[in-house]
Amino acid sequence: MTETDRILEQLNRAFYKEAWHGPAFLEILNGVTAKQASKHSLAEVHSIWEIVLHTKTWIEAVRIRCVGKEFNVSDEQDWPKVTVFSDDAWQQTLADLNDEHKKLEDVIASMRSSDLNKNAAGSSLPNSSMLDSIIHHNIYHTAQIALLKKLI
């Protein structure tokens, strides 16, 4: 197995299914409604919906950086506000998350070993570390969502 294959496998396990740590990101989101996703269960804690938007932003940022373009995440992009609270808007958020993840998968699949060793654009980290970091980031937020689901 190449390093690119390993990274892609770990990314997909953490996002889709068969994660070693427990349920994957999408498995945790399965069955969450728009009403549940928008609920703020604890004061000053992000909602599930906000976490999903945040996660999508960082998947996009990593993808763009790995193809050699800088992407500086603004505060508004980092934690976007949910402005439309409907089932359709929630389903669109999930579709957008999936689309962005697929784009990152395509970028990783096209990378050579030498690409993994290059620094991600605008970063002191090599692409391989940037990709490992997004996997860890997704797992971190999976755990947050799992806890928030227990509160709703």
In tens digits, the chain (152 residues) has pLDDT values of 899 999 999 999 999 998 888 899 999 999 999 999 999 988 889 999 999 999 999 999 999 999 999 999 999 999 999 999 999 999 999 999 999 999 999 999 999 999 999 999 989 999 999 999 999 999 999 999 999 999 98
- For residue 29, how many C-alpha atoms fall within 13 Å in the half-sphere facing its CB? 29
How many domains are contained in the chain?
1
Domain that holds residue 101: 3-151
Cut 0.85: pTM above it = yes
- Burial call 2-30: b when 16+ CB within 10 Å, e when fewer: eebeebbebbbbbbeeebeeebbbbbbbe
The CATH number of whichever domain residue 110 belongs to comes to: 1.20.120.450
